[in-house]
Chain A
Amino acid sequence: MTSISSVSAAFTGRDPGNRLYGPVPDVTEQSGYEPEHPKRVGFFTDTSVCIGCKACEVACKEWNTLPMDDSHGVRDALGDLSGMSYDNTGQLGANSWRHVAFIEQSRAVDLPMPSFGRPGDDRPHAHGMPAPDTGDLNSTATAQASVLNAEALSEFDPQTGQSGADKQVRWLMSSDVCKHCTHAGCLDVCPTGALFRTEFGTVVVQQDICNGCGYCVASCPYGVIDQRKDDGRVFKCTMCYDRLTDGLMPACATACPTQSIQFGDLDELQARADARLATLQDQGVETARLYGRDESDGVGGVGAFFLLLDEPEVYGLPPDPIVTTRDLPAMWKAAGKAALMMVGVAVTAIVGSRRPR
């Protein structure tokens, strides 16, 4: 039960304990647990070793007995494939608590091949020829039209070409999950107390309390939690709260064959992630970055953070999420002023009118 006094300090304008926003050293203790609570646990999802096998999705569905749903979250629907990639889960939702994103990318690279003086190399325009990018239909069409020309073929075929550019292809796969935020919008706005912070620092819905008001659905900056239409209540990842209390790892982390999903104490995972990032950067993977690791970010850092190989929005993640309740003191102030304004207008209207006879 959240008492009035616990957050009232934040609404006086000062928020010394960062109750609404900012880094929190011990979010579990801030939620009212005794100091000898278990350490905060979390997921570190290292997408650089994800192979997109979806064992995490299957294990999650099986352990939590989640119903089948299609790529738009419609329960018990068959056949609505996403039609965009190998990802037919589509999104996180009430019935999908792990979601493996799949992105195919390409880029043009200059091949540092030695020249053997084959025909065509000495033509001046050949070296400046742009790559046959699939994103540009015109150049592709040009390439296909000139395919009978042996000289042109040798320039475009990466097997035989000695100059110009080639395409590199990569697949990005990332198993998304509820972030179990330090400042969780869903938890802040829940009017029944159905959402609560566990002794492990995670955020869980009590299904016997939830009355399906849907406020959490609108308040999650990541679009994680959702309502089961036929049930009325909301559902999301519990980080396998039932398994944690029995000393087991969550189902997804247990099933992951490549240790892309790592479960453990959050501080240990953060150290491991920092080391992994340094290793990748040493190896020249310049696009690697951690997402949700920074405790000074808009949600105070998250319990389930990621190592990504591209910008967050490429994976369907918001680039700079901020918990909505950061601005709540300003909103209450505005609502109070507006309510006073209403009284003022009503008094003005009464006083400014002639007395009735």
Chain B
Amino acid sequence: MTGGITSPGAGWRQADRGPATQQTTRKRRKRGGGRGRGEVAMVDDVEFTSYYGRQIVKTPVWKSPDVPLYLFLGGAAGSSAILGALADVTGRPALTRTARLTAGGGSILSVVFLIHDLGRPERFLHMLRVFKVTSPLSVGTYILAPFSAAAGATAAVELLGWFPKLKRFGGAVAAVFGGPLATYTGVLLANTAVPSWHEFHTKLPFVFGGSAMAAGGGICMAFTPVGEAEPARKMAILGAGIELAALRGVEGSDSILAEPYHEGRPGQFMRAARACTAGGLGLAVLGGRRRWGAVASGALLAAGSLLTRFGVFEAGIASTKDPKYVVVPQRERMAAREAQRTSGAPAGDPHEARSVSS
């Protein structure tokens, strides 16, 4: 029996006056619809219970900056590889070269950061023992391995000037794996019990895909003569727009799980990311045809992408440290299920309509 949404049964309350276990969430300020900075929606306080305020799910042991950097570099490399292969077949040698070097360098560095994050780096090859579609990290390993091999080799022969015919093949292989490399990382974070990542599991791949194109396009635009940089600039502009729109879907959500994206350090990261990406987007549109404009806007877009990765990463970390982000959404889910069951409404989602014990 549940008396109220979270109150314990039969009137029992925490007796000692240590860290409170019956807590009330603070008044929550949320930007309404993301439109207009002053518009604020108030959300009612929710009372919830916890065990001495202790966290329920574990905080991920993934290190910062290793993992955010891995996300950023993998994304920039993936989108650059696609751009490089397309620039190659349409006869843009300077852009091709920049994109290949970005893809190769980014992929090698991202592998370094990924291995460095392991608790036992010398056992990295154990990742290749099995292939599991239920493990995004396993799938990602089989995306990253061929990608970094192909992109790294292509960049190497680009620098050394050997085997010119192999370059196009290597670049094409890297382009095939580039998109999945940039977007699987959204699944990597979302397929966890981390509340503020899992809640946005269909949106994070689009955030990361858009962010990857902003970064990859921005870097390629900055290092390519403006005469050939037009495709990079267009990809960066479109990517930045997608990143901002997808982020609005995350940050502007009504869910309590959007809260960590607004508060504290992750909130600062997200605000800085939005400022850099929006500024870079505007500058690329207005001044991207000039050399200085291309360099400045490319740097801003790359910085925005990097800050987005840090912000999303840190917001998830923050959401594990407060039990309210576990208890309150789960209680709301149970209450909604109960309401649906008692009203006898036909179930839309069989998962949500399952019966509950106790």
Give the B-binding residues of A (Cβ under 8 A).
Answer: 1-2, 4, 7-8, 11, 20-21, 82-85, 90-91, 93, 101, 103-108, 134-135, 169-170, 185, 188-194, 209-215, 217-227, 229, 231-234, 286-287, 289-291, 293-294, 296-297, 310-311, 313-321, 324-328, 330-343, 345-350, 352-357
Q: Is the CB of A215 within 8 A of B135?
A: yes
Interface membership of B11, Cβ < 8 A: yes
Structural contact, A353 and B120, CB atoms closer than 8 A: no
Are B2 and A1 touching (Cβ within 8 A)? no
Asked if B27 is at the interface of the complex by the 8 Å CB criterion, the answer is no
Residues of A close to B119: CB separation below 8 A: 210-214, 227, 231-234
Q: Mark B38-79, 1 if CB is under 8 A from A, else 0.
A: 000000000011111011111011100000000000000011
Shortest beta-carbon distance, B351 to chain A, in Å?
7
Indicate which residue in A170, A213, A339 contacts B12 across the interface (CB closer than 8 Å).
Answer: A170
B331 touches A320 (CB 8 A): yes
Q: Which A residues lie within 8 Å of B192 (CB)?
A: 185, 189, 215, 218-219, 324
Minimal Cβ-Cβ distance residue in B for A286 = B10
B77-91 near A? 1/0 per residue, CB < 8 Å:
011001100110011
For A220, list chain B residues within 8 Å (CB).
57-58, 193
A107 and B184 within 8 A (CB)? no
B253 at the interface (CB under 8 A from A): no
Is the beta-carbon distance between B79 and A356 smaller than 8 angstroms?
no
Whether A335 lies near B56 (C-beta < 8 A) is no
A189 touches B179 (CB 8 A): no
- A107-B11, A209-B129, A349-B231 known; A342 and B179 CB under 8 Å? yes
The reply to whether the CB of B132 lies closer than 8 angstroms to some CB of chain A is: yes
Q: Residues of A contacting B190 with CB < 8 Å?
A: 327, 331
Closest approach, in angstroms, between the C-beta of A303 and any C-beta of chain B? 16
Q: 14 new A-B pairs (CB below 8 Å) besides A324-B198, A327-B198?
A: A210-B120, A218-B193, A221-B57, A286-B9, A294-B358, A313-B6, A313-B51, A330-B202, A331-B186, A334-B203, A338-B179, A345-B242, A346-B83, A349-B235
**B positions within 8 Å CB-CB of A:** 1-2, 6, 8-19, 21, 48-52, 54-58, 60-62, 78-79, 82-83, 86-87, 90-92, 117-121, 123-124, 126-127, 129-138, 141, 178-180, 182-184, 186-187, 190-194, 198, 201-206, 208-209, 212-213, 217, 227-228, 230-235, 238-239, 242, 323, 326-327, 330-331, 333-334, 351, 354-358
Whose C-beta in chain B lies nearest to the C-beta of A226? B58
Contacts of A294 in B (CB 8 A): 355-358
Query: Could you tell me if B330 and A320 are in contact, using CB atoms closer than 8 angstroms?
Result: yes
Whole-angstrom distance between the alpha carbons of A4 and B138 in the complex?
12
Chain B residues contacting A169 (CB-CB under 8 Å) are 15
Interface pair B130/A191, CB less than 8 Å apart: yes
- The CA-CA distance from A125 to B70 in the complex, in Å, is 69
Of A291, A311, A355, chain B has the most CB atoms within 10 Å of the CB of: A311
